[in-house]
Structure 1
């Protein structure tokens, strides 16, 4: 069967999978296409309405669930600067830009110009009046409450950043956006015990109750004893600092909405609070079937610290004057048609197999760029800028010419661990054959 997935840059891709494929198979194929290694923060979802979404259960077969998925951030890291790879941070930035644009993540008027300036630096690079002109920000729409003064302030800040790399701009964007009050909050409309409308926000710290855009109550994970639901009622049993246990009841629009909220809470609690995921247990009780599947944040951070592959190459192509900043995440090597068939081999998670030899697939065919050996931020930025070297040579000083010559020096290819392993075993077998031949001659 063919399954369609919308990526964070609004591209749509299709995959051919067998009818018995699970959600994990499809999710692994999407991550392979994006060359994404730190994938535990992401998931596949379907939007039931403008404000509600259902997450794909990776442990079940896809055919029994929904179709038409959206690749999205599922767990927002409390400190996104701890992410190791640039591609992971960049995809997180794309998700947060969408939330600011749609209003799901409210952004104050004094913070919007700062965030917008980092977006401009990430997409357009260093400000060049000859290349960009004065109207390059005309028509850009980044937030519902955006004003013309905000665009002018974004442009002024963009001019002060100089040669800041795109990766640095994403890093600073995340440092500022994580300070927003509703960062990483999954909102669910409900009613409290008095029948008044509230929003239940599930985040890394717990469940937050919003009433008229103000925080009404907080249920932090260390204080939560039990989460349950009965029909359309959602119950939170907490342990206060003093006194007996207390149960707070909220009413949602339907049983399905209540169960969806309960699942989101279980997964967030498991991801952010557990050191290791609990093993799956067979249980025939209907209220005990669902468990958190996957790796926890602690496991993901430990695995990210061990990533040793070179930084993946991807291009950022900004499209100004279209109302939004739309960006294409395109790897620059090993490209082919986007329709992919799942192989028979099992897909291993990155924490158990951390080899960087992944194959990516896109709509377009591109050529292999010369690789530059190094891991610092300047080397990465130079690799990203290889596609526009003509523009760089035309508008930059002689010091950048010297840097380009230095960065284009291609190091001698070194054998990989697998090639070294093969060479050792090949030489060993050759020696054994020679010894056996000598004995025969004697």
Structure 2
């Protein structure tokens, strides 16, 4: 919001690599610029309309990859990098690649070529040959016997494991292609084959399961998948995933699904990452992909907290548009364009304008191709009455609680006297069953949000009907701005035994909060120790859960050995 004088003069330079490593762009930014500034600048230079599908990736000093946060300062995220080097990549692979237009579709095609070249787009030999033949068709054109001689395909890097057998099959398929085709047709055919593969849009993250076996976790528009030796072993759809979290190096997914007998089941899976930073990166990628493909709009996104009680917590807030927002805007643009064309035709034919009915082809456009999900409700994104966490920031004080004014204008002394009398009479009738309550409500701990000062509007309206009253009047103390001869003053200064009004003690949130925190901490620690030390079969499933295993071997066991060692030394 406020910038120093030096910030306006400092200019940083960075290099952005495009999908072809030989193509780079030099960009400049200032300390107050956020990540969205750099992405919008690049998409403007490359004439990319669908910028929400793209992102900027960088590698920190510890060789850990990150996506540039669009809502945070660029230099604060990359202050340890020298030189500043970013890579423009496709971040969200659409379920239907043909939704992208113009240069955005070309960039997606180049990204998939790069994935095939680096082994991320894993496929069979026949599929790799078909994709390779389309790349050759797009780069070299139609097959020509005079030009394409020998192993001409070997000059092009097509796949990670480009063997002679693969090159021969590519040449055979290239010869069979119909000559004279447009290059864009080969590109579209490539996108059609690639989107049907299990590894479409997958960036593999190396992990280990509970047996210690090496696996890879991949995330795309359909959900979270695990791969063993290049083949998908497990797949969890977004509508089956209830919660995603991490604890230390452990990436944890909580599942809620219906089995064959149509009974609701809950299951928890965990994967161990090489480092804690890699685990946080995997968690953030999963959260971003889930929100982009499942939320109806970005305003429904709450602040999501990751990390358990014994690890460094991380908070994430999604920024940018979701896929459904993009599709809705495109549909509305098509409707508006078609309505404008219809109105221009009516004016040209001098026919009186009539209310246009919904267009049939546009009315049938729905989100059927998107993965259906109910993630917004179990994760606690919504609030009653249509309010969303993190959305209605401008909540007025009138809706936030009862306003108690301690100052009144002196020119309305008569009105004040009558209003105080009515307020005291109402207070005398309600004082037996009403107590002062602190109007602070906390939301779910999972979302990490707090809504302050929310109270029922009906109580506020009732209090205003009986006039304004000050806190001093409420607690039975005299107000200096009220005449002492009034009935209200005589009532307040009466003997406590005669008026039978209890003097309430002011509630302090800190006095109740601190003991509660200590009590809950000791109770949780005692329960965890009891479960881990107990040999009862009733706790067997709980002891073998990923969270308890992580807690046991990373924190409890070393601490126990340390304490026993210290006690042994002191006993000697």
Name which of 61, 67, 71 aligns with 1:59.
71
Q: Distance in 1 between matches of 2:191 and 2:61?
A: 28
Name which of 197, 203, 206 aligns with 1:189.
206
Let me know the Cα RMSD of the aligned residues: 2.7
Matched, 1:116 2:132: yes
Name the structure 2 match of 1:405. none
Name the structure 2 match of 1:44. 56
Q: Distance in 2 between matches of 1:282 and 1:148?
A: 52
Offset of residue 297 of structure 1: 1.4
Q: Deviations over 1:173-207 (max 9, x none)?
A: 01111222211112211222223222111111111
Q: Which structure's CA Rg is the greater one?
A: 2
Name the structure 2 match of 1:20. 32
Name the structure 2 match of 1:294. 320
Q: Distance in 2 between matches of 1:94 and 1:211?
A: 26
Name which of 222, 226, 230 aligns with 2:247.
230
Does the Cα contact within 8 Å between 1:121 and 1:164 map onto a contact in 2?
no
Q: Distance in 1 between matches of 2:156 and 2:187?
A: 18
Matched, 1:269 2:290: yes
Following superposition of structure 1 onto structure 2, how do residues 16-415 of structure 1 map, counting pairs within 5 Å?
Answer: 16-47=28-59, 53-66=65-78, 67-83=84-100, 85-129=101-145, 132-134=147-149, 136-159=152-175, 160-241=177-258, 242-278=263-299, 287=313, 289-304=315-330
Q: Distance in 2 between matches of 1:42 and 1:59?
A: 15
Flag the structure with more relative contact order, 1 or 2, with Cα contacts below 8 A and sequence separation at least 6. 1
- SS for the counterpart of 2:280 is helix
Does the Cα contact within 8 Å between 1:275 and 1:296 map onto a contact in 2?
yes
Say which structure is richer in helix.
2
Offset of residue 290 of structure 1: 0.6
Name which of 6, 10, 13 aligns with 1:2.
13
Q: Distance in 2 between matches of 1:51 and 1:32?
A: 30
Q: Deviations over 1:126-174 (max 9, x none)?
A: 34455x4425534222113323343343334334231211211110001
TM-score by length of 2: 0.50
Offset of residue 2 of structure 1: 0.5
Q: Distance in 1 between matches of 2:59 and 2:125?
A: 29
Q: Distance in 2 between matches of 1:193 and 1:248?
A: 9
Q: Distance in 1 between matches of 2:105 and 2:332?
A: 17
Q: How many residues are matched?
A: 306
Offset of residue 53 of structure 1: 2.6
Offset of residue 71 of structure 1: 0.4
Q: Deviations over 1:84-109 (max 9, x none)?
A: x1422211111111111111222321
- SS for the counterpart of 2:190 is helix
Distance 1:158 1:201, change over 3 A: same
Offset of residue 49 of structure 1: 10
User: 5+ unaligned residues in a row in structure 2: which ranges?
Assistant: 1-11, 79-83, 307-311, 335-572
Name the structure 1 match of 2:385. none
Q: Distance in 1 between matches of 2:182 and 2:46?
A: 21
Does the Cα contact within 8 Å between 2:208 and 2:272 map onto a contact in 1?
yes
Q: Distance in 2 between matches of 1:141 and 1:175?
A: 21
- SS for the counterpart of 1:238 is strand
Q: Deviations over 1:192-231 (max 9, x none)?
A: 2223222111111111122343433222110111111122
- SS for the counterpart of 1:234 is strand
Distance 1:51 1:176, change over 3 A: farther
Does the Cα contact within 8 Å between 1:38 and 1:304 map onto a contact in 2?
no
TM-score by length of 1: 0.63
Q: Distance in 1 between matches of 2:196 and 2:61?
A: 28
Does the Cα contact within 8 Å between 2:291 and 2:301 map onto a contact in 1?
no
Q: Distance in 1 between matches of 2:95 and 2:188?
A: 14
User: 5+ unaligned residues in a row in structure 1: which ranges?
Assistant: 309-442
Does the Cα contact within 8 Å between 2:57 and 2:66 map onto a contact in 1?
yes
- SS for the counterpart of 2:188 is helix
Q: Distance in 1 between matches of 2:230 and 2:62?
A: 19
Does the Cα contact within 8 Å between 2:303 and 2:317 map onto a contact in 1?
no
Name the structure 1 match of 2:536. none
Name the structure 2 match of 1:402. none
